[in-house]
Chains A and B, each alone.
Chain A
Amino acid sequence: MNTDIHRLLDDAFAGVEMTPAAQDLKEEIRANIAAQVDELVAAGASAAEAAQRAIAELGDVRTLLDDEPAEAVRSLGWEALTARNRVRPKPGFVVRTVLLSLLATAALVGILLVVLLVHPAAPLAVAALGAVVAIALGIVTADALLQETTTNHPLPAARAIGFGLATGGTLLALGLGGGFALALDQLWLVSLAAVLLAGSLALFSYLGATQTNRHKAWTRGAITQMPPNRFETDPESAARFGIYTAVIWFLTLAAIVVLVFTVGWWWAPVAFVGGLAAMMLLLARMLFAPRSGDRR
């Protein structure tokens, strides 16, 4: 091991305040210099000479550590920055999304009608309509991820298509599972659903594990300029919100159970809608209400 590198590197960083960033840079340079010295030595230079040359080429390390202040971010608020960087959605994308969402909604209504009105049960019709929903929403997902937005860069095409496939696969698995619920002798439906679901979950996990940043550079400094919301400035109300949430859903679940065993299962969604409404009201009251201390 060439010890000259360490001595010369210490000399180069002499007098530099050892912040974590400076320490980081020093370690990075150390490994790079070591590789460069190996190359120079292989080309015939002596170890000491090679280390000298590699460090000399580096120049003054202090210039590498001067961080220019993000002036634009500090002088402008979040709203001004958003307006300046605004990206309008492409009309074609909006039209495609609306049409595909309408198609998916129509197919969902179709599923409901088939389940309620068609006797004997038609599992294949449910599965086919489920496939329409899955394909439409899968395309909507991939399409949305391929769009540049005000805060995000578009995803690379392969990853966007991956997310679309995983979404479509999950929804199709749900559709096939629904078909199976109508005809319990059609085992192939549930087998196919299980395979699809496992594949989609695997794809989702892969995409999640390999996900990297897609936010635009301007958002990174500007995030500190975002107007703070109540839960950040007042953690106690955030804790209260959590407890209220648990209470609301516990009561909703209890109401669903009571309704199912007294008046019938088709009343269960009523309790669910009630719980959701209570939840939204709570959120509006707690997150966006003026603080009591603001008005004297």
Chain B
Amino acid sequence: MNDDAFSADLLRGHTDTIVLGMLRGGDRYGFEIYKTIRDATGGDHEIKEATLYATYRRLEKDGLVESYWGDETQGGRRKYYRITDAGRAVYRRNVAAWVATRRVIDTLLDAKD
């Protein structure tokens, strides 16, 4: 249970970057993003939907994503998110920071694969 909380915290700290990375491949709407994250983590420690809604709002306010409404007729219109050039730049910077940090932490924790 304890390792679960630890890794869920780690994951949550990178929600913005994870969402940006997902949008790089194409525009998506909320539930699609949520599902992809849930499936990628094997459903063990998902990122809460509430966290994701807060993330979308923050990313949009900072100009890292744009949103638009889809043209579905059934079940309500979906709000799609599209990554901006600023979003791509921030994504690249965050991934570089993560790679550097991971190396440092691996060394400090003396972790071996």
Write the residues of chain A forming the contact surface with B, with a CB cutoff of 8 angstroms.
1, 24-25, 27-36, 38-39, 57-60, 63-64, 148, 152-156, 159, 211-217, 220
Contact = CB atoms under 8 A, between A and B. Distances in A.
B84 A57 contact: no
Nearest to A30: B76
15 contacts: A27-B69, A27-B79, A28-B30, A31-B29, A31-B75, A31-B79, A35-B29, A57-B48, A148-B89, A153-B90, A156-B88, A212-B84, A212-B86, A214-B89, A217-B64
B16 to A, nearest CB: 11
Query: Which of the four size classes fits the interface of chain B?
Result: 35 or more
A63 B34 contact: no
A34 B63 contact: no
Contact of A64 (B53, B63, B79, B82): B53
B25 to A, nearest CB: 14
B23 to A, nearest CB: 11
A27 B31 contact: no
Given A35-B31, A159-B85, A213-B84, A220 B61 contact: yes
Nearest first, the 6 closest Cβ-Cβ pairs linking A and B are: A153-B89, A217-B62, A212-B84, A34-B75, A31-B76, A28-B79
Nearest to B72: A31
Interface in B52-93: 53-54, 57, 61-64, 66, 69-70, 72, 74-79, 82-90
Contact of A153 (B79, B82, B86): B86
B75 A215 contact: no
A215 B78 contact: no
A216 B86 contact: yes
Nearest to B57: A64
B106 interface: no
A36 B46 CA distance: 15
Contacts, number: 103
A159 B69 CA distance: 25
B97 interface: no
B85 A32 contact: no
B1 interface: no
Given A27-B76, A31-B75, A32-B34, A59 B50 contact: yes
B9 interface: no
A155 B88 CA distance: 8
Nearest to A2: B75
Contacts of A216: 63, 86
A31 B82 contact: no
A24 to B, nearest CB: 8
A296 B108 CA distance: 68
Contact of A212 (B74, B79, B82): B82
A12 B3 CA distance: 33
Contact of A57 (B49, B61, B62, B83): B49
A152 B89 CA distance: 10
A64 B54 contact: yes
Contact of A215 (B30, B74, B79, B86): B86
Given A28-B78, A29-B53, 11 more contacts: A30-B76, A31-B75, A31-B79, A32-B34, A153-B88, A153-B89, A212-B82, A213-B86, A214-B85, A215-B63, A217-B63
Contacts of B50: 58-60, 63-64
Contact of B78 (A32, A58, A155, A156): A32
Contacts of B78: 28, 31-32, 35
Nearest to B89: A153
Given A31-B29, A35-B31, A212 B49 contact: no
Contacts of B62: 217, 220
